[in-house]
């Protein structure tokens, strides 16, 4: 598990779930029920999770970015 969280996918997942949790809590304060998810709410959560992590995805596919992988600079 520790190894997964240090990969680009792990970095994306950590950011994705923290953004989704944060937005979900904001929606709760705006009057939504705890487990009531309509399609609008799901789209809002997924969009926020993906858009907030675009820099991770861009760095992952950039061959000149060496913070990930076996050529990682220390």
Give the pLDDT means over successive 10-residue stretches in the chain (74 positions).
Answer: 77 90 89 82 90 87 72 57
Domain that holds residue 48: 2-61
CB 67 within 8 A of CB 73: yes
Exposed e or buried b per residue across 39-50, where buried means at least 16 C-beta atoms within 10 angstroms of its C-beta: eeeeeebeebbe
Please report the pLDDT score of residue 70 as a whole number. 54
Q: Considering its fold, how many domains does the chain have in total?
A: 1
The model's pTM: 0.72
Number of CB atoms found within 10 A of residue 57's CB: 14
Asked if residue 73 is part of any domain, the answer here is no
Tokens of 53: 């992590």
pLDDT of the residue at 48: 92
pLDDT at 71: 56
d(CA 6, CA 49): 19
Q: Is residue 74 part of a domain?
A: no
pLDDT of residue 68: 64
Separation between Cα atoms, residue 48 and residue 66, nearest integer Å: 26
């Amino acid at each position: 598990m520790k190894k997964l969280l240090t990969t680009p996918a792990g970095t994306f997942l950590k950011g994705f779930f923290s953004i989704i949790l944060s937005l979900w809590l904001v929606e709760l304060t705006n009057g939504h029920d705890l487990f009531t998810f309509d399609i609008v709410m799901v789209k809002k959560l997924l969009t926020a999770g993906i858009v907030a992590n675009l820099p991770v995805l861009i760095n992952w596919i950039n061959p000149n970015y060496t913070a990930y992988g076996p050529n990682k600079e220390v």
